[in-house]
Amino acid sequence: MTQMQVSIEPIAVPAGLDAPGAADFVAVAELFNAQQQEFWGNNDFYGPPQAQLAGRGSTPTRRRELLAARAGADIVGVAQINLPLTDNLHSGTVDIVVAPSARRRGVGTRLYAAAEQLAVVDNRRMLMAETDHLLSGEPAGPFAGNASLVPQDAAALFASALGFRLELVDRVSRLELGSPADDEAVLEQARTAAGAGYELVFWSGACPEDLIAAYARLRQKMSTDAPMGGLDLAEEVWDEARVREAEGLARDMDAEVLVSAARHVATGELAGHTVLEVFRNNPAVVYQDDTLVLEGHRGNRLGMLLKAANLVRLREAVPEALRVYTWNAEENRHMLSINERLGFRAIGYSGEWQKELSAE
């Protein structure tokens, strides 16, 4: 197929959907949405332009840039580049989406080249990217170990051709919410196993002031305790301001965030936490975010306790919820076994890729 003639240009995140430049941003947002609908075959990952307006803008801890490929008046591709500003200053992430009519015509390659150049100018030496793959039949592919779960499809071949190496494989799982009695039974079993040494603490939206320092510690530990494979990532820096920033972003994206934490009764220490997110535009769909238990408190079934408790609470807070999605490193057998006990089933895999950039 012949190369498509496109221009690559930055797209600013407008102040609002009625502000100058908003039409281009909406076109970009819908391009991301179309890709998600095409891949998953549903609208479970649809993000309204208003929510994307908040989610694709820069913050004090992360610079975000959008580059669009324009053919005439039409935007046929987009690259988003995320650059951390408080930690991991050597790295960035890139996400590229190309409209079906423009694929295999050099558009994605040109977008990536522009994104890489932006990262190099910002003194980044490493770029990371993610590919999604639906579960279909037996694992296939040329990669070693868990990488055999990632097939040689268009996304993987594109990443490889650009010089990326596959460093980690995440399992994508979905829970179809069933009988509330099932969750209650699992919760009571977990309570018994954990014993009286821990109590559950819940909040929605904003962390209580008396817990925010401890919660920031949990968020920071999550950046190192979760399996990273070969990804070149250092510990993130979390403090009260960053916690409040994340909470504000969720509010701006019209999301309900439900946090369940376990507190050690004897010391008052927060021993672990788990997070669920629900976007009000589609409350049937829930996303499981971080789950972490600090090393000194492991072995007490707190992971199961936290997750089961938050699912019970989810039913009360968001009765419209029907299904929950989660992502876990395939090597994280402990967390996968908890999810399987709760009823999560694998539906696909995500590949985490990494490329070392040339300074030239």
∠ Cα 53 58 63 (to 5°)? 140
Taken in order 278, 281, 284, 285, the sign of the CA dihedral is negative
Residue 253: which H helix or E strand, with range? Answer: none
The predicted pLDDT at position 138 comes to 45
- Sheet (strand 74-84) strand order: 7-10, 62-71, 74-84, 91-98, 126-134, 345-356, 165-176, 323-329, 285-293, 270-279, 255-264, 198-204
- Can you spell out the DSSP letters for 22-90? HHHHHHHHHHHHHHHHHHHSSSTT---HHHHHHHTS-BTTEEEEEEEEEETTEEEEEEEEEEESSS-TT
The residues that bridge with 67 in the sheet, in sequence order, are 10, 79
Which residue ranges form the domains of the chain, and what is each CATH number?
7-170+352-356 (3.40.630.30), 178-321 (3.40.630.30)
Each residue's pLDDT expressed in tens, for the chain with a length of 360 residues? 689 999 999 999 999 999 988 999 999 999 999 999 999 999 999 999 999 999 999 999 999 999 999 999 999 999 999 999 999 999 999 999 999 999 999 999 999 999 999 999 999 999 999 999 998 754 444 333 466 678 889 999 999 999 999 999 999 999 999 888 888 888 999 999 888 999 999 999 999 999 999 999 999 999 999 889 999 999 999 999 999 999 999 999 999 999 999 999 999 999 999 999 999 999 999 999 999 999 999 999 999 999 999 999 999 999 999 999 999 999 899 999 999 999 999 999 999 999 999 865
Residues contacting 187, CB < 8 A, separation 6+? 305, 308, 309, 311, 312
The predicted pLDDT at position 240 comes to 97
Residue 270: which H helix or E strand, with range? Answer: strand 270-279
Give me 342's structure tokens.
Answer: 């709760």
pTM value? 0.94
- Read off the amino acid at residue 292: L
The residues that bridge with 353 in the sheet, in sequence order, are 129, 166
